[in-house]
């Protein structure tokens, strides 16, 4: 269990984390989300004893990280894939970590195999590792002590599609084993496929803490896309839907309808004799939910896109 109680961190006059209270439990993958500057990495650093809280507590299994005698047996973490000496081989890096926590040397080979790094890759020095290889090595280090709690900060960064799928399966397996898995990421589509629960921060404060499905279901009604070959028929369908209070937008041979179910759209099309080639419910997404939740918490917002006059 990860326990945060009134957790606060200030850097001078800037507040990075503001009175954060949340429990992150075992048996599920928890997505840790928020815009840039929301306080996610600072929270993870406080959990690992790298930053001292200004106020409150950050506990792993009821204890502060500094109180853990063999921390790698309690919590594994990947915060920075480049955190390896540039001249030290990956295998030597893991062996040093294992020795510091009383972990048998054979475990190094086990985790290297688990993350897909062969002897050749494990012999490379830190400066020769690609970002993806560095991520795999970092994950190997997080798993070294077979810990019940895992903290992973942007772990898919640099991984190819096969690596992303592998990591998704790995985190699912670890959670199913009863471990606590906390993943920070900006990739909403990946989190939607990976997380069971999400914790969302904005400007250092807790915005949401809910099961993924509930968070998405609480968003405004999803749309329905309907496409057909008859422009006049689509116009008639759009007019009828609008008369019933639905919002309708048109893009070529397709309508996007909100405020009416797919069943109702299909029934009206049948009644009007409109040929339909597509009738698709457009499910709400985590990205839409995230953008709505954090709309007032974005520190660095880009302006409108488009060409500038020269």
The per-residue pLDDT for 211 is 93
Owner of token pair 């880009």: 302
CA dihedral 130, 131, 134, 138 (to 10 degrees): -170
Length of the chain, in residues: 310
- What is 223-283's CATH number? 3.30.70.790
Residue 279's Cβ-count burial label (10 Å; 0-12, 13-18, 19+) is middle
pLDDT reading at 300 higher than 80: no
Fold adopted by 2-217: Rossmann fold (3.40.50)
- Let me know: does 265 contact 257? Beta carbons within 8 Å: yes
How many contiguous H segments (helices) and E segments (strands) does the chain have? 11, 13
pLDDT reading at 290 higher than 90: no
What does pTM read for this prediction? 0.81
Q: Give the pLDDT band of residue 84 (cuts 50, 70, 90).
A: confident
Collect all residues with Cβ–Cβ distance below 8 Å to 165 and sequence separation of at least 6: none
**What are the domain boundaries of the chain?**
2-217, 223-283
pLDDT reading at 67 higher than 60: yes
**Fold agreement between 2-217 and 223-283:** no
User: Within 13 A of 78's CA, how many CA atoms are on the CB side?
Assistant: 26
The per-residue pLDDT for 307 is 46
Planar angle of CA 83, 32, 16, nearest 5 degrees: 75
| Backbone phi, psi, residue 293, to 5° | -65, -35
pLDDT reading at 140 higher than 60: yes
Nearest partner of 148 among 206, 80, 201, 70, judged by Cα: 70
- Let me know: does 61 contact 74? Beta carbons within 8 Å: yes
Q: Give the pLDDT band of residue 308 (cuts 50, 70, 90).
A: very low
pLDDT digits (tens, 9 = 90+) for 225-263: 999 999 999 999 999 999 999 999 998 899 999 888 889
pLDDT reading at 30 higher than 50: yes
Nearest partner of 99 among 79, 72, 126, 117, judged by Cα: 72
| Backbone phi, psi, residue 191, to 5° | -65, -35
Q: Please give the Cα distance from 29 to 27 (Å, whole number).
A: 7
Q: Please give the Cα distance from 138 to 78 (Å, whole number).
A: 6
Instruction: Provide mean pLDDT across the span 52-71.
Output: 94
């Amino acid at each position: 269990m990860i326990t945060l109680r009134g957790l606060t961190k200030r850097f001078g006059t800037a507040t990075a984390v503001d009175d954060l209270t949340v429990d992150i439990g075992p048996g599920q993958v928890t997505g840790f989300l928020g815009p840039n500057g929301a306080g996610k990495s600072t929270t993870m650093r406080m959990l690992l004893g790298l930053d001292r809280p200004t106020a409150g507590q950050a506990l792993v299994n009821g204890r502060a990280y500094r109180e853990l005698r063999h921390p790698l047996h309690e919590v594994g973490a990947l915060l920075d894939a480049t955190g390896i000496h540039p001249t030290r081989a990956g295998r030597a890096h893991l062996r040093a970590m294992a020795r510091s926590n009383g972990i048998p040397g054979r475990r190094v080979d086990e985790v290297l195999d688990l993350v897909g790094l062969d002897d050749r890759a494990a012999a490379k020095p830190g400066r020769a590792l690609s970002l993806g290889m560095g991520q795999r090595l970092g994950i190997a280090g997080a798993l070294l002590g077979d810990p019940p709690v895992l903290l992973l900060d942007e772990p898919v960064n640099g991984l190819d599609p096969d690596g992303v799928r592998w990591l998704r399966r790995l985190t699912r397996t670890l959670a199913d084993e009863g471990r606590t898995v906390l993943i920070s990421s900006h990739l909403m589509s990946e989190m939607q496929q990976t997380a069971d629960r999400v914790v969302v921060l904005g400007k250092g404060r807790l915005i949401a803490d809910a099961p993924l499905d509930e968070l998405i279901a609480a968003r405004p009604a999803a749309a329905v896309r309907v496409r057909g070959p008859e422009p006049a028929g689509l116009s008639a369908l759009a007019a009828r839907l609008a008369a019933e209070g639905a919002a309708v937008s048109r893009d070529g041979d397709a309508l996007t309808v909100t405020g009416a179910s797919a069943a109702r759209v299909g029934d009206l099309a049948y009644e009007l004799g409109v040929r339909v080639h597509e009738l698709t419910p457009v499910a709400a997404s985590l990205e839409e939910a995230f953008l709505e939740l954090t709309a007032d918490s974005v520190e660095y917002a880009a302006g409108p896109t488009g060409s500038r006059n020269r």
